[in-house]
Structure 1
Amino acid sequence: MLAIAAFHDYEIWQMDVKTAFLNGKLKEDVYMTQPEGFVTSDNAGKVCKLQTSIYGLKQASRSWNLRFNDAIKQFGFIRNEYEPCVYKKISGSIVSFLILYVDDILLIGNDIPTLQSVKTWFINCFSMKDLGEPTYILGVNIYTDRSRRLLGLSQSTYIDKVLKRFSMEESKKGFLSMSHGISLSKEMCPSTP
């Protein structure tokens, strides 16, 4: 399956937060047994009180998500009410979207200097790795053809994997009841007052 849309000037970048779960702030007291090799005769029988989140805590992913949400809102992004991993920022004709999946970020927008400032701000807030323009994320292949201003998404690899899992790789393939080559525009978007 391949969906292709025509876009006017846009940029899409992928970033990764290094050790994301270590960025979470704990809202309650959490104690753990002392790590192996840490115990000495003076502190035997004592426990450690965690000051920040660590991997393996049941609170780790939630505390990271809350920390990220607070940080990105400070930069002016608004969280989508129905998709809490999607954020947007609109300033006049400049539109930016941010999609978060655990520690992977897709940053999409129509103004390169704005996106660059978001990336710089992220690098100052968290330890980040800039992965450049994405070609594959979360089972979706991303195709770009800048000369024709096209952005395409395909889940064919994922679909083939599911078919193989259920021993259906030899099944007959067909088309979805959807028009091919749809060109999307801003005028087609729903609008409200």
Structure 2
Amino acid sequence: MDMKTIYLNEDLDEEIYMEQHEGFIEKEKESWACKLKKFIHGLKQAFRQWYIKFHDTITSFGFKENTINQYIYLKLSGSKFIILVLYMDDILLANSELGLLYETKIFLNNNFKMVDMNEVVYVIGIKIFRDRSQ
């Protein structure tokens, strides 16, 4: 799954100013700076702030963070499981049961702007092979 506009809707916890962008500088206000109201792409704090929101949201749904890699989550439901791997704004889901997969996708869509990319063929340069008979 792919998350859309992950940085553009997050509020800032601190005051951040930026220089006026070339081509948008007002005459007689050249020395002024712009105070940001929301995060913008490329801001160092943007991913961290967004990740905190994502973490809080996904753990409220019953996912547990991996102790070694904070971008891997596991949810157990009886003998069923689903693994969620976060890579920047992409999510890879691996599961043992389709109902849990659909439930998770609905939850993600209700909390974030998502695009379902369906079955993955490649992820970070690794080809995924499925043997449905196994």
The TM-score bracket by the shorter chain reads 0.7 to 0.9
Aligned to 1:20: 6
Contact 1:25 1:64 in 2 (8 A): no
Give the TM-score normalised by the residue count of structure 2.
0.85
In 1, the alpha carbon distance for the partners of 2:38 and 2:103 equals 28
In 2, the alpha carbon distance for the partners of 1:141 and 1:74 equals 32
> Which structure has the larger Rg over C-alpha atoms?
1
Matches within 5 A, 1:87-106: 87-106=73-92
The AA in structure 2 aligned to 1:140 is: I
Alignment deviations for residues 83-122 of structure 1 (CA, whole Å, 9 cap, x no partner)? 1110011121221110001111111112212211211121
Alignment deviations for residues 40-79 of structure 1 (CA, whole Å, 9 cap, x no partner)? 57x9354332222111211122222222111111211111
The AA in structure 2 aligned to 1:103 is: D
Q: What is the aligned-residue RMSD (CA, Å)?
A: 2.1
1:138 is the counterpart of 2:124 = yes
Matches within 5 A, 1:71-90: 71-90=57-76
Contact 2:81 2:100 in 1 (8 A): no
Aligned to 1:32: 18
Work out which structure has the larger RCO, using CA pairs closer than 8 Å and 6 or more positions apart in sequence: 1
Change in Cα spacing, 1:124 to 1:40, as seen in structure 2 (3 Å) is: farther
Aligned residue pairs total 133
Over 6 Å off, 4+ runs: none
Matches within 5 A, 1:130-169: 130-146=116-132, 148-149=133-134
In 2, the alpha carbon distance for the partners of 1:63 and 1:23 equals 11
Unaligned 5+ residue runs, structure 1?
Answer: 1-14, 150-193
Give the TM-score normalised by the residue count of structure 1.
0.61
The AA in structure 2 aligned to 1:77 is: F
Unaligned 5+ residue runs, structure 2?
Answer: none
